[in-house]
């Protein structure tokens, strides 16, 4: 079995098309205010989504209210809502009731040490996947920083894992072999500038990720 690839922070139609051509199976659209990847205009998000083909369309949110998420889901025809803030399991349950049937929830946790995984286990967030990203003070993600993958050794995974944090064409094969996640996720690792994707880097990322077979 091959790991699946998500490319996040897409802002241009040509980048969406290039990501799909490269073989990405999920595309991330950022609805968190601030930063070079933020999509403030839902019409722009709709345009980008329309170029996604059969790839999953993932909306990235952080501490947004249910109504705002619903609007984005409808406008961009999102398949997945990725919660990147301090959302609680109770909020996730309310959100799931409000979303159309079939829309997945992915919950993000930022980790840097084994103790961070205790929170993941304690919260037992009801979701289709857990995304683990590097904990960097003052940042929600997109920092280009990795975390120590060895903290995941022996950790029992209750959900499919999406591995993020500093993944590039140069290290993603090692990450897949070491962690054996269901998905790998990259944003800055395949960019030529913040928010601008590099088609060659996306192709190289997907090729490297898929070069490692996992069971």
Which residues are part of the catalytic machinery? 8, 133
DSSP 8-class letter at 44 = H
Backbone angles phi, psi at 51, to 5 degrees: -95, 5
Q: 68 CB contacts (<8 Å, ≥6 apart)?
A: 31, 61
97-100-101 Cα angle (round to 5): 85
Round to whole Å and give the CA distance between 132 and 117.
10
Torsions phi, psi of 134, nearest 5? -70, 135
Both tokens assigned to 17? 């098309």
């Amino acid at each position: 079995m091959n790991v699946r690839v998500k490319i996040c922070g897409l802002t241009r139609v040509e980048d969406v098309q290039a990501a799909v051509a490269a073989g990405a199976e999920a595309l991330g659209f950022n609805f968190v205010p601030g930063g070079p990847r933020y999509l403030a205009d839902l019409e722009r998000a709709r345009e980008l989504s329309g170029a996604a083909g059969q790839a999953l369309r993932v909306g990235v949110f952080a501490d947004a209210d249910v109504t705002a998420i619903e609007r984005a889901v409808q406008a961009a025809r999102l398949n997945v809502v990725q919660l990147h803030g301090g959302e609680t399991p109770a909020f996730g349950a309310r959100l799931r009731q409000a979303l159309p049937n079939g829309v997945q929830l992915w919950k993000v946790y930022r980790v840097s040490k084994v103790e961070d995984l205790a929170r993941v286990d304690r919260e037992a967030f009801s979701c289709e996947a857990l995304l683990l990203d590097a904990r960097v003070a003052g940042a929600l993600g997109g920092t280009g920083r990795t975390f120590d993958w060895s903290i995941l050794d022996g950790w029992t995974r209750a959900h499919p894992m999406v591995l993020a944090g500093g993944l590039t064409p140069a290290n993603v094969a090692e990450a897949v072999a070491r962690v054996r996640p269901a998905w790998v996720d990259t944003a800055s690792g395949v960019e030529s500038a913040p928010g601008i994707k590099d088609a060659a880097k996306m192709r190289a990322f997907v090729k490297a990720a898929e070069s490692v077979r996992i069971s």
